[in-house]
Amino acid sequence: MNAPLNNTPGRADQIRRLQELTALLEAGDDTAFEARFASFLQARDQGLFVSVAKLTRSLHDAVRELRFDDRLSTLAGREIPDACSRLDYVAKVTEQAAHKTLDLVEECQKLTQDIALATHDLSAACQRAQAYSCSPYTLSGLVVSVDETRSHIVDTTTDLRERLSRLAQAQEYQDLAGQVIRKVTQLVKSVEGALIELLRASGGLTQGRAAESAEAVLHGPAIDGVTPAAVSQDDADSLLAELGF
Amino acid sequence: MDKNLKILIVDDFSTMRRIVKNLLHDLGYTNTHEADDGKTAWPLLQSGGFDFVVTDWNMPGMTGIDLLKAIRGEPRLAGLPVLMVTAEAQRDQIIEAAKAGVNGYIIKPFTAVTLKEKLDKIFQRLAEAA
């Protein structure tokens, strides 16, 4: 133990006290000896107590410094698992969006084939019209067939347009995934900051405390087990209705 | 409803702005303009001429809720209809938006049908109030 024991009687004082005790013992004054001996021991104990108390305090400070007001334990215990769930969510929505996009692309490809076939029918009809030198009978049959093909093309282009619209909407995952990734990025920065401070604290470079990380007030996309209970569009509608909307 | 309404779409994600724009165009509303957060939206709104605002909530710079409050606090804009389209789905947030005077609230992800419903409802109410 390198620290000097404060309040401990100095060496000369200890020698003097011990000599007094020897003298009392030699003189046979047991009562006085017992009293002085007890006070001598007490003085020594007190010094030790103070020293232990100081050590305890500095140890406590060091531990508190390292815990950064529980920030590290919060990061390790809650925020990292949160971040993992959030990234799982990103993986899920991007996968769903990719499938949705591919499904719609395949449907659109079939529809364009339909249109191609229909235009082929139309050109065949035109050739027939030319070949038949247009008797009224064949002409009316052709008109019906051409009209059917035309309405088929109109229907198919409507279907195509509807799918293209869904295709565009499927891209919304980028917004939702992007929001989640931003949150995880914030967490990574926070972990980095805590680690740097831990390094500084252990190297004794600074006594600085970690700056409070700005707690994000907004929760972003609802993720099971991560964000607080979220409501659905229907819940939101009835809530707004209750509020007079 | 007048399909030539001048609509401002406010969202920090350009993909979401495109999606909303696309859906609005499909519904016949082609006079759309865009801003990437409340801060850029505010001068556009002040310069006038907008009939409708579709805004996200969580944006850097100025959030959608702050934009909504600013709109309601500005006498010239106070009557502007605002539809919030956001991933924020907490009960308290919906109540906060309602208190701030939002006209409609759509939770992302959403469908074209939901957007149409909310727009129709807002216009119907405005027509009733007029």
> Do A245 and A106 form a contact (C-beta atoms < 8 A)?
no
d(CA B89, CA A221): 7
Predicted structure pTM score: 0.61
Q: What is the pLDDT of residue A124?
A: 85
Residues A169, B57: C-beta atoms closer than 8 Å: no
| Interface confidence: ipTM more than 0.90 | no
d(CA A40, CA A21): 9
Q: What is the pLDDT of residue A67?
A: 57
> Do B45 and B77 form a contact (C-beta atoms < 8 A)?
yes
Closest CB from A227, A229, A236 relative to B94: A236
Residues B58, A165: C-beta atoms closer than 8 Å: no
d(CA B23, CA B30): 10
Indicate the range of A64-73, A96-105, A150-159, B8-17 predicted with least confidence: A64-73
d(CA B32, CA B53): 10
Residues B108, A176: C-beta atoms closer than 8 Å: yes
CA dihedral in degrees (A225, A228, A232, A238; nearest 10)? 150
* DSSP string across A1-58: --S--TTPPPHHHHHHHHHHHHHHHHHT-HHHHHHHHHHHHHHHHHHHHHHHHHHHHH
* Mean per-residue pLDDT of chain B: 93
> A with B: how many residue pairs have Cβ under 8 Å apart?
92
Provide the strand spans (E) within B37-119.
52-55, 82-86, 104-107
Biggest alpha carbon–alpha carbon distance for chain B: 36
> Do A185 and A133 form a contact (C-beta atoms < 8 A)?
no
Closest CB from A171, A228, A233 relative to B107: A233
State both tokens at A59.
């140890």
Q: pLDDT at residue A1 above 50?
A: no
Q: pLDDT at residue A209 above 60?
A: no
Q: pLDDT at residue A6 above 80?
A: no
Q: What is the pLDDT of residue A207?
A: 42
d(CA A33, CA A37): 6
Among the listed residues A84, A149, A85, the one whose alpha carbon sits nearest the alpha carbon of residue A116: A149
d(CA A44, CA A50): 10
Among the listed residues B16, B2, B58, the one whose alpha carbon sits nearest the alpha carbon of residue A219: B58
How far is CA A71 from its chain centroid? Answer: 14
Residues B13, A169: C-beta atoms closer than 8 Å: no
State both tokens at B62.
């100025």
pLDDT tier at A86 (50, 70, 90 boundaries)?
confident
Give φ, ψ of A89 to 5 degrees: -60, -45
Q: How far is B91 from chain A (nearest CA, A)?
A: 7
d(CA B51, CA B9): 11
Q: What is the pLDDT of residue A8?
A: 52
**Residue B71: which residues within 8 A CB-CB, separation 6 or more?**
B45, B53, B77, B78, B80, B82
**Residue A105: which residues within 8 A CB-CB, separation 6 or more?**
A167
Q: State the average pLDDT over residues B26-34.
A: 93
Give φ, ψ of A17 to 5 degrees: -65, -40
**Residues of B (89-108) whose Cβ lies below 8 Å from A:** 89-91, 93-95, 98, 103-108
Q: State the average pLDDT over residues B34-63.
A: 95
Cβ–Cβ contact B47 with A under 8 A: no
